């Protein structure tokens, strides 16, 4: 029997729209256990055996239907996230500024909509981690420690 893979690595992709520089976010269903009704950037945990760039490319394809090669990713920041429940996650964020196709919601059971947001003024309904990612991206900060408040009595993430 093999052990269950549990990664502390998380990848995020900041798909940046040409022209206005807005970043694509996904709104989670109101029933989401970790970010109910909130906006998050595209991303998630690494799967067993994945490198950061492979996970980022997979998440982009899974969540919004954009297929790119890893060489289109540009590293933009590293975050060490401390969730309210005590969980610790290290997140690597990448930007993508060129792609083919139109992003769409590939996970309607998880997300309700796609929203392009201004990274210099993240909306109040961004998850605290996403808010930090966008703020640090817009200021060019390459590393940050992020401590998230507890959300609605549940986990942050």
Please tell me what DSSP assigns to residue 99: -
pLDDT over threshold 60, residue 56: yes
pLDDT over threshold 90, residue 52: yes
Residue (of 99, 48, 91, 50) closest to 73 by Cα position? 99
Q: Structure pTM?
A: 0.87
Q: Does 3 reside within a domain?
A: no
Q: Does 115 reside within a domain?
A: yes
Please report, for the domain that includes residue 124, its CATH number. 3.90.79.10
pLDDT at position 152 is 42
Question: Between residues 21 and 151, which one has the greater pLDDT?
Answer: 21
Q: Does 44 reside within a domain?
A: yes
Q: Does 1 reside within a domain?
A: no
Give per-residue pLDDT as tens, 59-109.
999 999 999 999 999 999 999 988 767 778 899 999 999 999 999 999 999
Taking the C-alpha atoms of residue 80 and residue 12, their distance in angstroms, rounded to an integer, is 13
Domain containing 63 equals 9-147
Residue (of 52, 53, 55, 65) closest to 24 by Cα position? 65
Q: Does 155 reside within a domain?
A: no
DSSP-derived 3-state class of residue 20? coil
pLDDT at position 157 is 37
Half-sphere exposure of 18 (CA within 13 A, CB side): 5
Q: Does 22 reside within a domain?
A: yes
Q: How many domains does the chain have?
A: 1
Q: Does 157 reside within a domain?
A: no
Please tell me what DSSP assigns to residue 71: G
Q: Does 152 reside within a domain?
A: no
In this structure, the number of other CB atoms found within 10 A of the CB of residue 85 comes to 13
């Amino acid at each position: 029997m093999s052990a269950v893979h549990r990664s502390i690595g998380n990848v995020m992709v900041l798909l940046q729209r040409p022209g206005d520089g807005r970043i694509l976010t996904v709104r989670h269903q109101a029933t989401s256990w970790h970010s109910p009704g909130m906006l998050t950037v595209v991303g998630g945990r690494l799967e067993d055996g994945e490198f950061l760039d492979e996970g980022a490319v997979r998440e982009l394809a899974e969540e919004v239907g954009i297929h790119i090669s890893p060489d289109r990713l540009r590293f933009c920041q590293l975050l060490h996230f401390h969730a309210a429940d005590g969980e610790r996650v290290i997140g690597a964020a990448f930007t993508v500024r060129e792609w083919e196709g139109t992003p769409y919601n590939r996970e309607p059971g998880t997300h309700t909509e796609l929203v392009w947001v201004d990274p210099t003024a993240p909306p109040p309904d961004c998850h605290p981690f996403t808010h930090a990612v966008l703020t640090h991206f817009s200021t060019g900060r390459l590393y940050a420690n992020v401590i998230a408040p507890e959300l609605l009595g549940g986990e942050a993430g």
